Amino acid sequence: MKIVVIGGTGLIGSKVVANLGRAGHEAVAAAPNTGVNTLTGEGLAEVLKGAQVVVDVANSPSFERDAVMKFFQTSTGNLLAAEEAAGVGHHVALSIVGTEKMPDNDYFRAKVAQEELIEKSSVPFSIVHATQFFEFTRSIADEATNGTTVRIAPVRYQPIAGEDVALAVGRVAVGSPLNGRTEIGGPEQFQMDEFFRNALAAWGDPREVVADPHALYYGSVPGERTLVPGDGAALGTIRYRDWLVQNATGK
């Protein structure tokens, strides 16, 4: 089947395209650098011709409150309208575990707005809620850094490899629409400060990780289980220590 992957040249999208292609599907990477822009609508009608499924893994280039909200509302609105016109039968969106639990988080609030648009659309849909990616570990640590100290909330944390996310999204894309949500997380659960303490040590990073119950996660304080999936979530198979060995030299 023809599956268009919005954000198909990015971290997750490129993996989704490759996996679906190996499985025999016509997987099309759609992004501004391929002539498809969901913010302006450029190229959408053409790329969606004959598509049975659209997978949206595009991300906002800015996390600033107004910018991130505008991105997800505009991009998703344009995409859903184009899908309705093209007769697409399944819209798959990648979102985040815990979006509804952090209403004061600008990024999470924008993802909630995106999901509401998807639910109100006439296009059958599936929303995949994933935990944080291994690939974002360094940027999360940098965001939490003040001087030489990294302040991390001592809450539960269950990160996942991007490859496992891509596999899960692909499985959902070739299945029947859920018209609901499914959750995915990594195979191991940690205390968040301990995870980052061990991660920085593995990099040889001298920054000190401090457990701080009031530490912010991208602007808001997470609860004990905000960042972990609920019972029944699908789990990836790649453990962080194994991923780190494979990615220590940028592989």
pLDDT digits (tens, 9 = 90+) for 51-73: 999 999 999 998 899 999 999 99
pLDDT digits (tens, 9 = 90+) for 197-207: 999 999 999 99
> What is d(CA 56, CA 183) in angstroms, rounded to the nearest whole number?
16
- pLDDT confidence of residue 249: 46
CATH of domain 2-247: 3.40.50.720
> H or E segment at 92?
strand 90-96
pLDDT digits (tens, 9 = 90+) for 69-109: 999 999 999 999 999 999 999 999 999 999 988 888 999 99
pTM equals 0.94
Q: Where are the domains of the chain?
A: 2-247
- pLDDT confidence of residue 104: 84
